[in-house]
Structure 1
Amino acid sequence: MKKPDEETIKRVLDDQGNAEESRYVITWLGSEEGQRYLAEHIDQQWNNGQIRMPNEIPSTRMWKQISQQMSHPLGFIRFKWQYAAILIPIIIVIGFISYRNLFPSSESPIAWRTLSVPYGEKTNLVFQDGTSVFLGPGASIRYPVSFTKEKREVDFSGEAYFDVASNPECPFIIHIGDVSVNVLGTSFNVMANRQDENIQVKLDEGRINLCTNSSQTTLHPGECAVYNKRTEDLSVRTGTNTCYADWKSDLIRFNDALLPDVLEIVSRKYNAHFQITDSTVCHYCYTLTLKGKTLREVLSSMENITPLQFTSQNDTILVSKK
């Protein structure tokens, strides 16, 4: 958040700013930079004799009660009791704005952010409602800075594991192109890479509804929904899907998966580029579960299952028969 200019800050602190200026300045004062500025500003006024001891100073008990009710941490403010009468009104407003930021009304304008994960990396994003998203390599999620009381919505592509906090009155909705996943509180894995033909959603706990332009279905634990973006067909399978990466547990699972599909998962996870030099190897299938393995360990496991060999050449790994 950009620092307001000095004249605007002075007008607001003197109670002469308009509503828009006051809202912006007070929100900025709630940031770490704003808290440092406020502390330095008050220290300077105190040292210059511009602040005098008020006739009535709030008691310690009263201040503790106010502190416990504030939703915004004081952070860098070096509080002095002599400043209580000046700081308390500002802090109360900052606390109110923090509360409004956590639960803004549906009529308030909403700012959005986008988080993209590079290939070969993963990250964990936690929203203010307690929902966790474990984002895999290449994943991208667009989300509001704050959810409203009425809805929680995000746009997503890539691979991720969602652990959604339960809130029956406010469903969590994930938009994936033409597919939307409606959640009340559950755990599931999503594979929705832009370059892939299929979108896959595997449910571990709870219940979710998948909606497309022409159909919808309800998933139960252990089921996997597959949506074909080209044909717009939606089907449900039982059991582990063909290729599955659990970013939460650092697992990759393959169940009778063809070599090209396996290499696609491994490529994104380890930011590796593969080139199949012999097309006859594409029919090889793999059923294995790996956790916390290095790229070399994964390739060695695959070499032990099938007569393949992986050879590094510059930035490419060549795949051929032994």
Structure 2
Amino acid sequence: MENYESDIEKRMETAWGQDFPPVPKTQIKNSWSELESTIRSRSPKRSFKWAIAAAIMLLLLPALYLLSVDRSTIEINNYTQLDKEFILPDSSIVILKPNSTVSYNKKFSKREVALSGQAFFDVVKDSLKEFTVETSRTSTRVLGTSFLVTENEDLEKTEVSLYSGRILMSLKDTENRRSWAIIPGESFLLDKGKVQVKKFETDLSFSAGNKYSDLNNIELEKLFHFIEERFGYQFETNEMTKNKLVTLRINKSDSLGQILKVLSLINDVNFEINESEKTIVTLKKEKK
């Protein structure tokens, strides 16, 4: 019994994560006609019960149809505000970010994944089969590595950041057959048709699912850039922040105020937040 219930739960979970076409109107009409004729043939005392049963059947009909559909493509959506972690058929791990979608062939024989939005991939190494992530504009090919893919179709922008291993980037443009080999600590950025490869701090990220990040002698202004992206504020830098190095641990759950309080103590400065303009100003601490 437990195995049966577990199997049903798995099937329901898979079905819930997929989109299916609506039930044809003719199918609904035929089902209603059958139930209506059955109700009429019953005694008046039982008609009410059958009416309820008919209503329930109509409500359940889309769900029953949903469970009966067998598709070759599996699609996983994340409509929540939290990261969604799942395992692909080859045991590779995917951390799907909010408002993002991943789809792949049910057999997964070619290890190909289509992405819309943002996801972190920790790919199991297979020397015989490449792992490919396709977005609307780029193709990322790897054998075994961990990387973050971010696509923004509205801004025509795609960014791939590599944390370990190696990846080969190419554009979905028949006129441009060039490829880019990316190493750990580099990001491939495609912005409105222009390609740029830039460096980033691999430790300064929670994209890989880390609960905290230990930073050792990192430039303060690089940390500012991370805070700007994470919280949506802009730092106004000055002489007090240049060439400063900091060592600290940042937890994923830390708020902007908590991080600024620690930085204030380390650097003997004050940070003033302007909520209306979303800016942060560094001020010299007044001596008491």
> TM-score normalised to the size of structure 1?
0.50
Give the conservation status (yes or no) of the 8 Å contact 2:185–2:202: yes
**What is residue 232 of structure 1 aligned with on the other side?**
195
Residue 134 (structure 1) aligns with = 95
Query: Partner amino acid for 2:95?
Result: F
Structure 2 residue 9 is matched with structure 1 residue 6: no
- 1:278 positional shift: 5.3
The alpha-carbon deviation at position 284 of structure 1 amounts to 5.2
Q: How far off is 1:267 after superposition?
A: 4.3
Corresponding residue for 2:110?
Answer: 150
| Cα distance in structure 2, aligned partners of 1:263 and 1:200 | 21
User: C-alpha displacement at 1:248, in angstroms?
Assistant: 0.9
| Deviation at residue 192 of structure 1 after TM alignment | 4.2
How do residues 242-321 of structure 1 correspond to structure 2 at under 5 angstroms?
Answer: 243-252=204-213, 256-259=218-221, 261-269=222-230, 272-277=231-236, 279-280=238-239, 283=242, 285-288=244-247, 289-295=249-255, 296-314=257-275, 316=278, 318-321=280-283
The one-letter code matched in structure 2 to 1:155 is L
Provide the secondary structure at the position in 2 that maps to 1:265. Answer: helix
Among 116, 131, 146, the residue aligned to 1:188? 146
Shift of 1:216: 2.9
1 CA distance for matches of 2:130 and 2:76? 20
Whole-Å Cα distance in 2 between the matches of residues 285 and 196 of structure 1?
A: 35
The offset of 1:123, in angstroms, is: 0.6
Task: Specify the alignment match of 1:70 in structure 2.
Answer: none
Aligned pair count reads: 224
Give the equivalent residue in structure 1 for 2:168.
209
The alignment partner of 2:262 has SS state of helix
Structure 2 gaps, min length 5? 1-19, 34-58
Percent identity for Structure 1 against Structure 2: 11
Residues 264 and 167 of structure 1, relative CA distance in 2, 3 Å threshold: same
Q: CA RMSD in A?
A: 4.7
Give ranges in structure 1 of 5+ residues lacking alignment: 12-31, 39-72, 74-93, 105-109
What amino acid is the match of 2:218?
Answer: D
The alignment partner of 1:283 has SS state of coil
- The aligned amino acid for 2:146 is F
> Using a 3 Å threshold, how does the CA distance of structure 1 residues 294 and 151 change in structure 2: closer, same or farther?
closer
CA pair 3-182 structure 1, distance change in 2 beyond 3 A: same
8 Å CA contact 2:116, 2:151 repeated in 1: no
Q: Describe the shift of the 1:257–1:151 C-alpha distance in structure 2 as closer, same or farther (beyond 3 A).
A: same
For the residue of structure 1 that corresponds to 2:227, the secondary structure is: helix
